[in-house]
Structure 1
Amino acid sequence: MSAKFTPAKRVADQKQDVWSIINEAAAASPIQPIVNMGQGFFGYNPPQFIIDAAKSALDRVECNQYSPTKGRPRLKKAIADAYTPFFGRKLDPETEVTITTGANEGMLSAFMGFIEPGDEVIIFEPFFDQYISNIEMPGGVIRYVPMHPPPDGAERTSSAGNWTIDFEELEKAFNDKTKMIVLNSPHNPVGKVFSKEELTRIGELCLKHQTIILSDEVYDRLYYVPFTRIATLSPELAQITLTVGSAGKNFYATGWRVGYLIGPPHLIKYVAAAHTRICYSSVSPLQEAAAIGFEQADKVGFWDQAVKEMKGKMDRFCQVFDELNIPYSIPDGGYFVLANLAKVQLPDNYAFPDHVKNRPRDFRMAYFLIVELGVAAIPPTEFYTDERAHMAEDWLRFAVCKNDDVLEDAKERLRGLRKYMIGSA
């Protein structure tokens, strides 16, 4: 084939991604149906008031045509009104909010709006895998800083807050080329909510090095410990921070792809400019429905109910790890839980396929759970560089945003791990 048909290096050199590996294993498993605790999509519908809003929007002519590229005015106002109490001042919906096609496209727009070839971006490991390609497409160079798992994570259950940053390592990652740092709190996959003290120290480094903060806060309505938004720590930090949100995550509608960014006008306008060139505008009727969602959520007690229900699901599911004496990180926020399966002994000479057997242990563990128990989970080393994958190879990520009967089914199947546990009879 002609060299002209050679794919771009950014896609040609990618290993088979974790999603296709897990989905292919699930499709081929002798145990069907698979209980999918892997991908972080909800196993149930958005609340009825959101569904009704979406149906109603489809009947309106203007909601079926292009929206303004920066977002529908009603949605921008609803977001500004909803976030004004958190920011401690009235947000301007016209200059401080922009709507994007999901949070992921919003982050891509932020990178495209500010990153030039050679600019450096700091991210923490483990990371949301989309960050990598989004940064590299405009020519960014990534500097990785690890979050260290608790040293006794294989022996005992403890808070996700015990995954820590070495601030000396972080400071060494900054230099004259550092343009941006990406935060994620509540964190996927760890479940950590960064403390006010941690955020203050990160913010001080960013101010010192004049670095833009891209704060991925898509799980910002699901937190079980005190939650601080870095943009609210000081007026100076507010001027260098872009806060990313997701209506899809907030309202159990990940397929709607409605995201948003909040930030100072001198930053937001360039995110909006990049978004215009990437996809012009986002889905109109679902923007309208999301606007109604933000307008109504407090009135119907949705936010408090969402936290109560998700915390209940987390506690319900993690009972099986307590039963099996499998340590895990108790999430501070979000809907993922990391369990440490170091005590599970994979059988010798197990027939792993070639594309799995040479990956870290968590890939083999994930494959084993699918084939032998019919439970899908995600190996978190996918969210690490090869250099540091060893830090997470005993962990697996489980998504608990499923119906309670699914959680109970998963628990019953996971009890089948007993016969593979080190020290079991």
Structure 2
Amino acid sequence: MAPAPVRPAARVATQQQDVWSIINEAAAASPIQPIVNMGQGFFGYNPPKFVTDAAKSALDRVECNQYSPTKGRPRLRKALANAYSPFFGRTLDPETDVVVTTGANEGMLSAFMAFLEQGDEVIVFEPFFDQYISNIEMPGGKVVYVPMHPPASGATKTSSAAEWSFDIAAFEAAISPRTKMVVINSPHNPIGKVFSRSELTAIGEICVKHSIIILSDEVYDRLYYVPFTRIATISPEIAALTITVGSGGKIFYCTGWRVGWLIGPKELIKYASAAHTRICYSSVSPLQEATAIGLEEAEENGFWEESKREMKGKMDSFNKIWDELGLPYSDPEGGYFVLVNMSRVKLPESYEFPSHVANRPRDFKLAWFLIMELGVAAIPPTEFFTPQNAHIVEDYLRFAVCKDDEVLETAKERLRGLKKYID
């Protein structure tokens, strides 16, 4: 008698191929090489020299190659407290208000593991970073979705990413007795929206009313081009419920380092820290040290303003191609992603797509077509919506501009190949 087949847990048993593997495998198979990969948000260049020098020197120090304290290296926690205290309007205690995590993603998982019991609900705005969903479901949480919508003119004219909106009444209506947390992302991936102070105040006050924990994903917090409000700064009552997520990989161009952090009141951080200890115990020591030095030296190197100026320059330069082609986009207020509406792009009726793309929304077909015919990879954003709301973005693609200027120019030249498909 044959043994019963191994049965995976439901949380990992899905058979649908994820967007990252579809796009990366297509990029590798494209007849146009080298591919211009503007899909995943990894940088096409190194961190600044003062940060890489710090990493190299840390590798020569014995203590930096051994276990760090579970809450993070003291130097990094102190550097984070010093760097972020002015933003939060209070003196952060590096011992109690900060925990270092293995990337922002593990930090968010730690927060969910710390507070969610089986059946607890978490409100997430669509579009969402896809890792939110699995991180919430791992400890048994249930995701409740509130969609954001582009402006009515999004298919016909370029507009600010600020014009993506949500219904605050729908947000409050999504709250139930099981609602434990809400996730906010500002600056937002993939929209590029920076939530306004009034939007954050409305969300925060509702969370205070219902005692809901706020997980504020602010990993792009050094890349904003309009006034940026941190929800934890709006009122003491909102701050008491808020855990803020940050990322060394995002701010220093080193996504592979996997150094992140959580900042918040000790009454919340102590539980997230306990969960982090059980998930991975501690994070990479030499890269923590390098991140600490980066935070200590960034200001004197003029890095923060230079970083914003350079990324905004890349964004503005790249987006000229959409103006040239007459394709509208959501002009980002922060981050390094841009959503482009391609409803005017007419795919050839006879074009053959593989089955795993053919049965997906139109944006997957657009992404496949660009990869195979133009040699440019982008991400279909319906992956960041529930199936019932995927229609909201089925004509959009997301492009990451955190690439060398030469790569961006190559992308623009290749994208001119869309002209013959635009009506």
- For the residues of structure 2 that align with 1:30 and 1:139, how far apart are their CA atoms? 43
Aligned AA for 1:126?
P
- For the residues of structure 2 that align with 1:80 and 1:359, how far apart are their CA atoms? 45
- For the residues of structure 1 that align with 2:282 and 2:269, how far apart are their CA atoms? 15
Aligned AA for 1:261?
L
**Aligned structure 1 segments of 4 or more residues deviating by more than 4 angstroms:** none
Q: How does 1:98-177 map to 2 (within 5 A)?
A: 98-177=99-178
Corresponding position: 1:82 with 2:83 = yes
Contact 1:175 1:209 in 2 (8 A): no
- For the residues of structure 1 that align with 2:289 and 2:161, how far apart are their CA atoms? 36
2:229 corresponding residue in structure 1: 228
TM-score relative to the length of structure 1? 0.99
Q: Which range moves more in the overlay, 168-177 or 62-71?
A: 168-177
> Using a 3 Å threshold, how does the CA distance of structure 1 residues 311 and 177 change in structure 2: closer, same or farther?
same
- For the residues of structure 2 that align with 1:259 and 1:63, how far apart are their CA atoms? 17
What SS is found at the alignment partner of 1:356? helix
1:415 corresponding residue in structure 2: 416
What value does the CA root-mean-square deviation take over the aligned residues? 0.7
2:363 corresponding residue in structure 1: 362
* Residues 42-75 of structure 1: per-residue CA shift (max 9 Å, x gap): 0000000000000000000000000000000000
What SS is found at the alignment partner of 2:148? strand
1:59 corresponding residue in structure 2: 60
Identical columns (%): 73
- For the residues of structure 1 that align with 2:3 and 2:210, how far apart are their CA atoms? 46
Aligned AA for 1:171?
E
Q: How does 1:40-59 map to 2 (within 5 A)?
A: 40-59=41-60
- For the residues of structure 1 that align with 2:196 and 2:123, how far apart are their CA atoms? 19
Q: CA deviation at 1:2?
A: 3.8
Q: How does 1:17-416 map to 2 (within 5 A)?
A: 17-416=18-417
What SS is found at the alignment partner of 1:219? coil
Contact 1:126 1:383 in 2 (8 A): yes
* Residues 176-207 of structure 1: per-residue CA shift (max 9 Å, x gap): 11000000000000000000000000001101
What SS is found at the alignment partner of 2:53? helix
* Residues 361-408 of structure 1: per-residue CA shift (max 9 Å, x gap): 000000000000000000000000001000000000000000000000
What SS is found at the alignment partner of 1:339? strand
> Using a 3 Å threshold, how does the CA distance of structure 1 residues 235 and 398 change in structure 2: closer, same or farther?
same
What SS is found at the alignment partner of 1:71? coil
- For the residues of structure 2 that align with 1:222 and 1:54, how far apart are their CA atoms? 23
What SS is found at the alignment partner of 1:118? coil
* Residues 253-280 of structure 1: per-residue CA shift (max 9 Å, x gap): 0000000000000100010100001000
What SS is found at the alignment partner of 1:98? strand
Structure 2: runs of 5 or more not aligned: none
What SS is found at the alignment partner of 1:206? helix
2:11 corresponding residue in structure 1: 10
What SS is found at the alignment partner of 1:261? strand
Q: CA deviation at 1:23?
A: 1.0
Q: CA deviation at 1:168?
A: 1.4
* Residues 216-249 of structure 1: per-residue CA shift (max 9 Å, x gap): 0000000000000000001111100000000010
- For the residues of structure 2 that align with 1:143 and 1:349, how far apart are their CA atoms? 39
- For the residues of structure 2 that align with 1:60 and 1:259, how far apart are their CA atoms? 22
Q: CA deviation at 1:113?
A: 0.5
Aligned AA for 1:147?
M
Q: CA deviation at 1:212?
A: 0.1
Aligned AA for 1:75?
L
- For the residues of structure 1 that align with 2:158 and 2:274, how far apart are their CA atoms? 46
Q: CA deviation at 1:14?
A: 4.5
- For the residues of structure 2 that align with 1:270 and 1:4, how far apart are their CA atoms? 38
- For the residues of structure 1 that align with 2:403 and 2:357, how far apart are their CA atoms? 27
- For the residues of structure 2 that align with 1:381 and 1:151, how far apart are their CA atoms? 18
Aligned AA for 1:338?
L
- For the residues of structure 1 that align with 2:239 and 2:211, how far apart are their CA atoms? 13
